[in-house]
Amino acid sequence: MAEKIMVVEDEEDIRLLLKHILEGEGYKVITCEDGMEALTSVHQEPPDLMLLDIMLPKVDGKEVCRVIRKDHTFPIIMLSAKSDELDKVIGLEVGADDYISKPFGNLELTARIRTALRRVKSDVQPNGEILRCGDLVMDKARHQVKVKDQIVDLRPREYSLLEVLLANKGRVMSRDTLLNKVWGDDEYIGQGTVDVHIRRLRINLEQEPDRPKYVMTVRGVGYKCADQPLS
């Protein structure tokens, strides 16, 4: 079954060109011309990957990405005519997986897409039973976590928190997102609860909790599991 890519681009010529290129690569392509249309379309039919322009009418690309990341983990590659480093950092901090500056070559674009889709497949093993971050391994079937082959004893909330981070490895998860996924609708739980559990998690997982290599802080945004643990 063909993987589905959503192209969100307000410039018609670029939107149609991307559609032509991607369909030529065998992908199913959905197109949207503004941020509001993209959010509606994702709600109706989530894609396997999104190409998202930053400068969009109605709702800009960074806000679209921020909203999508509350409920979805599919890869998002941002497109922008800007090459400013701050613009790129902001895009990544709101949840984008990659960033390509316009103009870009067809080969670069398709290579980035293949890499992002391949990463999703490699993050979760068959049946989603094994999640990894370097030598940190979660075996969901056994409800077991190991670091360097040593079993780590975690409390239930710590385990659930780690599971969410590992399942979204490399993607920044806001405190609100983690609250919703781990604690649900408990109105008496505040964002500080996430910070407390992250500290406990680091004490259990890290040799040096103050210099974490698995669970990273993205200042002002939230937390993530690193694609490759820091050495």
Of residues 101 and 36, more confidently modeled: 36
pLDDT in tens, 167-198: 998 889 998 889 888 887 654 566 788 888 99
* pTM flag (> 0.75): no
Considering only CA atoms, give the Rg of the chain: 18
pLDDT score for 85:
60
Q: What distance in Å separates the CA atoms of residue 54 and residue 87, rounded to the nearest whole number?
A: 9
Q: What distance in Å separates the CA atoms of residue 6 and residue 29, rounded to the nearest whole number?
A: 6
Q: What distance in Å separates the CA atoms of residue 57 and residue 10, rounded to the nearest whole number?
A: 7
The answer regarding whether domain 4-123 maps to CATH 3.40.50.2300 reads: yes
CATH code for 126-225? 1.10.10.10
The share of the chain scoring above pLDDT 90, in percent, equals: 35
pLDDT in tens, 28-69: 999 999 999 999 999 888 899 999 999 899 999 999 998 888
How much is the average pLDDT of 118-128?
Answer: 58
pLDDT score for 205:
93
Q: Provide DSSP, the chain.
A: ---EEEEE-S-HHHHHHHHHHHHHTT-EEEEESSHHHHHHHHHHS--SEEEEESS-SSS-HHHHHHHHTTT--S-EEEEES---HHHHHHHHHTT-SEEEESS--HHHHHHHHHHHHHHHHHHB-GGG-EEEETTEEEETTTTEEEETTEEE---HHHHHHHHHHHHTTTS-EEHHHHHHHHTTT-TT--HHHHHHHHHHHHHHH-SSTTS-SSEEEETTTEEEE-SS---
pLDDT score for 37:
96
How much is the average pLDDT of 105-133?
Answer: 76
Structural domain boundaries in the chain: 4-123, 126-225
